[in-house]
């Protein structure tokens, strides 16, 4: 791996967030700017509308990222973009901008897997070395550990992700976006536990039945949004914590890292920390600033990948809406 200083401009555009960051291999994250598409209350992300939002914001966000970093255009060594997974129209906005910048600056173009970005920004900011990672967001819910040049999955969702579960309930309850944050706020005021289906299949979790049940109870109008939010979190998080404990007992890792947008949830942090403490494992959580989608995750992962020879030609700079994390070779990490 090259030790030469590398400065990267990274672009994240997989879903509702357009993020641009400038990062340096020796100084870390120099700037991280984002613009977030917010759908109307009760509605989910409309891919074309989100993509148009990103198109309208991209020039401003790039300019602000340079302003905050103090970097000059001539100092950019590589441009990285989120190749996937994500919403096709949104991914293409970021890829198109990255392609144009790489061509204009005459620098290499580096594709980055969105989940790899989440993990790498979390390990950078927490100092973890070889953790069991619990990755929870709108696009991912999985428990992974590194082995033989890949992130190996020890548990995952069989249907919807934890982030989607919270978002969809939030929409049905008329809560503002982002749904996960609004549900967490309502859950703090909940006082009564309402029984909801707890489903696990092996070491995987399943949330679609839980969502159907909680929405049905919401429409019955016999329960408060606060109590339903509290109960939903308790059941969903407990299932994930149980799966995490099984994976931790199996892998015997000495670190547990909570990453992704839902990692900012304080109740989830409490549960994962509890099972970490039970197994004498150091618990770490990505800083809230970098928990959600951001350009920093792409810029930092782009530097790591590029230093191991990963890059793509402009003609082959495609995007992939579906792309499993365990299919990506991780060349910069030593074998565990």
- pLDDT tens figures, 63-94: 999 999 999 999 999 999 999 999 999 999 99
Q: How confident is the model over 134-143, as a mean pLDDT?
A: 96
Domain 7-119+292-327 carries which CATH code?
3.30.420.40
Question: pTM for the complete prediction?
Answer: 0.95
More confident residue, 4 or 239: 239
Q: What is 127-290's CATH topology?
A: Nucleotidyltransferase; domain 5 (3.30.420)
Q: What is the mean pLDDT of the chain?
A: 96
Helix (H) or strand (E) run with residue 156 in it: strand 150-156
- pLDDT tens figures, 155-168: 999 999 999 999 99
Q: Report pLDDT for 229.
A: 98
pLDDT over 90, % of the chain: 93
DSSP H helices, the chain, are 47-69, 88-105, 114-126, 162-172, 179-188, 208-220, 225-251, 266-278, 295-306
The CA distance from 319 to 304, in Å, is: 20
Q: Report pLDDT for 42.
A: 82
The CA distance from 164 to 169, in Å, is: 8
User: What's 176's DSSP letter?
Assistant: P
Domain boundaries, given as residue ranges, for the chain:
7-119+292-327, 127-290
Q: Report pLDDT for 1.
A: 47
The CA distance from 209 to 221, in Å, is: 19
Q: Report pLDDT for 196.
A: 97
- Beta-bridged to residue 156, according to DSSP, are 142
Task: Report residue 7's pLDDT band, with 50, 70 and 90 as the boundaries.
Answer: very high
The CA distance from 35 to 17, in Å, is: 6
């Amino acid at each position: 791996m090259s030790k030469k200083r590398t400065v990267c401009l990274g672009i994240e555009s997989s879903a509702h967030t357009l993020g641009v960051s400038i990062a340096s291999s020796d100084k870390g994250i120099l700037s991280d700017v984002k613009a977030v598409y917010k759908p109307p209350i009760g509605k989910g992300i409309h891919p074309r509308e989100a993509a148009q939002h990103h198109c309208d914001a991209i020039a401003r966000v790039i300019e602000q990222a340079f302003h905050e970093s103090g970097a000059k255009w001539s100092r950019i060594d590589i441009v990285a973009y989120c190749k996937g997974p994500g919403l096709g129209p949104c991914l293409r906005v970021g890829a198109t901008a990255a392609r144009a910048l790489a061509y204009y600056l005459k620098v290499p173009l580096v594709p980055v897997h969105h989940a790899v970005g989440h993990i790498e920004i979390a390990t950078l900011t927490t100092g973890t070395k070889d953790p069991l990672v619990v990755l929870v967001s709108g696009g991912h819910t999985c428990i992974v550990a590194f082995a033989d040049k890949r992130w190996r999955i020890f548990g995952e969702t069989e249907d919807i992700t934890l982030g989607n579960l919270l978002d969809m309930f939030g929409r049905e309850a008329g809560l503002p976006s982002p749904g996960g944050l609004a549900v967490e706020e309502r859950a703090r005021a909940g006082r009564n536990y309402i029984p909801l289906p707890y489903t696990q299949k092996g070491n995987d979790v399943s949330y679609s039945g839980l969502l159907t049940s909680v929405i049905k109870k919401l429409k019955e109008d016999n329960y408060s949004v606060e109590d339903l939010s509290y109960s939903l979190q308790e059941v969903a998080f407990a299932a994930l914590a149980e799966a995490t404990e099984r994976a931790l007992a199996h892998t015997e890792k000495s670190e547990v890292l909570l990453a992704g947008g839902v990692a900012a949830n304080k109740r989830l942090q409490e549960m994962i920390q509890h099972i970490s403490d039970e197994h004498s494992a150091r618990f770490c959580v990505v800083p809230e600033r970098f928990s959600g989608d951001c350009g920093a995750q792409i810029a930092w992962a782009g530097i790591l990948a590029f230093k191991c020879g990963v890059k793509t030609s402009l003609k082959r700079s495609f995007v992939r809406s579906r792309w499993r994390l365990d299919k990506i070779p991780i060349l910069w990490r030593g074998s565990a």
